[in-house]
Amino acid sequence: MPIQIKTAEEIAKMRVAGRLAAEVLDFIAPHVKAGVTTGHLDKLCHDYMVGVQGTIPAPLDYTPPGHRPYPKSICTSVNHQVCHGIPGDKVLKPGDIVNIDITVIKDGFHGDTSRMFLVGEPSIQARRLCEVTWECLWKGIAQVRPGARLGDIGHAIQVHAEGHGYSVVREFCGHGIGRRFHEEPQVLHYGKPGQGVALEAGMIFTVEPMINAGRRDIRALGDGWTIVTADHSLSAQWEHTVLVTPSGFEVLTVSAGAPSMPAFVTASGAATAATP
């Protein structure tokens, strides 16, 4: 499948789906604290999506080729878990860092976003990893405009992460998104400037860097989904769904509770005014 250029009508629906996904993170934020299980967070999010928003949790029963159906409605990846952590009996404890990844379907279109949450007061090193990974997300997004290449996004992320002594996970990437959860193109979080597909207005894809405090190598757990760092070092991830606009980009996964973009992006002037 070639990379789709979304129509104005499709973009309008993607804005709605993106905002709703971000609003699930706003909703769950006050519940992410010591003593709660990841399974409870999943239930709260599931009920909010289905009962309050009228959205479909895209992960539930999602079965990409070679995988068993994903059993829950959200992903919760704690500490050395990189991504796709399955909610369950795990009790959050003070000092944990947790990625919560939400994908909703509304009116046939997907919105996909994740944030890091701090439980209690994690170590300085853990907080720094979360902060630098958030900066990596925005370093990538700041590259987005017509004519830029996918390699520009990956390169900006890789330089920032490695400049802090961290490593970039290679096996998972951002992705086109729309009527399907994962579409073309693949958005690598490493690469060379000027290489790869040229961006065009109307493309919509995610940027979702996974950054490890230690080595980049990963392992899959026996549950068939959870990915962990091979060296058990901490890992962090942030994700937004992004539209290429004629003058730059628009982040679609915006909500009142999403951290606003950093000054180094505001200064670039590429952001189209978002409508939270």
The binder of 59, among Co ion, ligand MF3, none, by C-beta within 5 to 8 A per type, is ligand MF3
HSE, CB side, 13 Å, CA atoms: give it for residue 220: 8
The binder of 225, among Co ion, ligand MF3, none, by C-beta within 5 to 8 A per type, is ligand MF3
Closest to ligand MF3 by CB, 96 vs 101, is 101
For position 101 contacting Co ion by CB under 5 A, the verdict is yes
Residue where the block lists tokens 């990974």: 133
Tell me which residues in 35-94 interact with ligand MF3 (CB under 6 A). Answer: 59, 62, 70, 75, 84
For position 183 contacting Co ion by CB under 5 A, the verdict is no
Shortest distance, position 244 Cβ to ligand MF3, whole Å: 18
The binder of 84, among Co ion, ligand MF3, none, by C-beta within 5 to 8 A per type, is ligand MF3
d(CA 1, CA 29): 37
For position 225 contacting ligand MF3 by CB under 6 A, the verdict is yes
Residues 230-249 vs ligand MF3: string with x where CB under 6 A?
Answer: ---------x----------
Q: Which of 186, 199, 190 is nearest to 154 (CA)?
A: 190
Closest to Co ion by CB, 184 vs 231, is 184
What CA dihedral angle connects 17, 19, 22 and 28, to 10 degrees? -90
Q: Which helix (H) or strand (E) holds 264?
A: helix 263-266
Strands (E), the chain: 56-57, 75-78, 81-83, 97-106, 109-118, 167-168, 174-176, 183-187, 204-207, 210-212, 218-220, 227-229, 235-237, 240-245, 248-251
Tell me which residues in 202-221 interact with ligand MF3 (CB under 6 A). Answer: 206, 208
d(CA 42, CA 180): 22
For position 183 contacting ligand MF3 by CB under 6 A, the verdict is no
Shortest distance, position 104 Cβ to ligand MF3, whole Å: 10
d(CA 48, CA 57): 10
Number of helices (H) and strands (E), helices first, in the chain?
5, 15
Closest to Co ion by CB, 120 vs 168, is 168
For position 112 contacting ligand MF3 by CB under 6 A, the verdict is yes
Binding site for ligand MF3 (CB under 6 A): 59, 62, 70, 75, 84, 101, 103, 112, 206, 208, 225, 239
